[in-house]
Structure 1
Amino acid sequence: MYVPRPFQEPSPGILNAFIAAHPLGTLVVQNSQGPDAYHLPFHLDESGSLHAHVARGNPVWRNISGHENVLVIFHGPQGYISPEWYPSKHEDHRQVPTWNYQAVHARGRLVVHDDERYMRGLLARLTAEHEAGMQKPWQMSDAPEDYIDALLKAVVGIEIEVAELKGIMKLGQNESVEDRTGAATQLIARGEAAIGEAMLAAKKP
């Protein structure tokens, strides 16, 4: 991924937090027919490895030997930027449209975990993470044991041993504070608060 210097985010802590906030990743693999992609919610553990699960019928876990390098892409907020939103455009007209966005790429080795103990632990962690904000968090124990046992047999776990983490935060850092604020304010007014607020919080490199 090409990342111009103003948009680079080198902090592992910030990149990890980004993944935790946007856990639905796109797993890109290479098979005999060419590149393929799978959309999966991931759990990032303390060691920096990514964990997910797929249906047993999904061919991805059979087509990867466990020694292949794969890519997982995590997308954040994004939005179109009109030149009309930049105050400087109305002075010298030296602005053009662009697109602001945030994304993190994780590269590493894919390992298959076809065992119930791994799957039970992974699903318990995923459930705890995403049910934490619920008024009455659901737990695996809420469902009949035989029902959960059957579902566990129908899925396979995968782990990405991350070797490289790279982020791009294209939030108008190359623009003046006035222009960035003008564009961000317009985005928020249009209901695109996530990308607008990210732009307001961005700092010059």
Structure 2
Amino acid sequence: MYIPADFEMRDPAAVAAFIAAHPLAQLVAHGAQGLVANPFPLLAVDDDTLIGHMALANDMHRIVPDGADVLAIFQGDSAYISPNWYPSKRADHKVVPTWNYACVQFHGRITFQHDAKSKIAAVGRLTQNHERETNGAQAWKMADAPKDYMAQMLAEIVAFRIDVTRTYAKSKLSQNKTADDAMGAVENLRKNGADAIADSMQAAQKTR
């Protein structure tokens, strides 16, 4: 991924926080008939490993071989930025439109896991992570479901692990603009209801 220096996310903690906030990744791989892509929620269990699971009916685990190179793309909020929002436009008109966004890409090698232990671990860890955020002390647990029903559900999935080989993290949030122009964009995004990316842009200005 092309990443100008102004937009590179260098802090591992910031990268971890980003994928935790945007856990649904597009997983891209190459099979016998060309490229294949599917969205999956993924969990980083450490700096070098992502885990997830897919439906047994999903052909991805059949057409992509174990050990194949894959690309997991985590995409954050994005927005069109109008040059009309920059105060500097009134001075010289030397401004153009752009698009602000943030994304993280992990290159790695995938291993499909069909054993019960791996499937329980993948479902359990992903569920625990999201249930804790969603329901707190009232979090749903795998043990809440009848054992025979859970066994049936686990039989219908395939777990997988991605061993990460390269990471690219990009946060294009007007860091290359003056503070006045960046905040002009922030104010107009808020007027349009795009508070999430406006918050990210404002935070980026504070860390320049």
Please give the range of the TM-score, normalised by the shorter of the 2 chains.
Answer: over 0.9
Residue deviations 1:126-158, cap 9 Å, x none? 111111131632111221111110000110001
Instruction: Find the aligned partners of 1:154 and 1:38 in 2 and give their Cα distance.
Output: 17
Quote the residue 2:164 is aligned against: 162
1:134 aligns with 2:135: yes
Q: What is the SS of the residue equivalent to 1:118?
A: helix
Residue deviations 1:35-76, cap 9 Å, x none? 111100001102530101011111111222222111000000
Instruction: Find the aligned partners of 2:78 and 2:145 in 1 and give their Cα distance.
Output: 38
Is contact 2:32–2:64 with CA below 8 Å preserved after alignment? no
Instruction: Find the aligned partners of 1:125 and 1:18 in 2 and give their Cα distance.
Output: 18
Instruction: Find the aligned partners of 2:102 and 2:79 in 1 and give their Cα distance.
Output: 10
Quote the residue 1:3 is aligned against: 3
Matches within 5 A, 1:36-185: 36-132=36-132, 133-134=134-135, 136-185=138-187
Is contact 1:10–1:166 with CA below 8 Å preserved after alignment? no
User: One-letter code of the match for 1:5?
Assistant: A
Q: What is the SS of the residue equivalent to 2:202?
A: helix
Q: Which runs of 5+ in 2 are unaligned?
A: none
Instruction: Find the aligned partners of 1:64 and 1:16 in 2 and give their Cα distance.
Output: 27
Kindly state the Cα deviation for residue 32 of structure 1 after the two structures are TM-superposed: 1.8
Kindly state the Cα deviation for residue 110 of structure 1 after the two structures are TM-superposed: 0.5
Instruction: Find the aligned partners of 1:112 and 1:140 in 2 and give their Cα distance.
Output: 22
Quote the residue 2:20 is aligned against: 20
Q: Which runs of 5+ in 1 are unaligned?
A: none
**After the TM superposition, which of the residue ranges 19-28 and 130-139 deviates more from structure 2?**
130-139
Q: What is the SS of the residue equivalent to 2:126?
A: helix
Q: 1:189 aligns with which of 171, 175, 191?
A: 191
Instruction: Find the aligned partners of 1:56 and 1:110 in 2 and give their Cα distance.
Output: 16
Q: What is the SS of the residue equivalent to 1:134?
A: helix
Is contact 1:12–1:165 with CA below 8 Å preserved after alignment? no
Name the Cα RMSD after superposition: 1.3
User: One-letter code of the match for 1:147?
Assistant: Y
Alignment: residue pair count: 205
User: One-letter code of the match for 2:182?
Assistant: R
**After the TM superposition, which of the residue ranges 156-165 and 132-141 deviates more from structure 2?**
132-141
User: One-letter code of the match for 1:191?
Assistant: G
User: One-letter code of the match for 1:180?
Assistant: A
Is contact 2:119–2:154 with CA below 8 Å preserved after alignment? yes
Q: Structure 1 stretches (4+) deviating beyond 4 angstroms? A: none
1:201 aligns with 2:203: yes
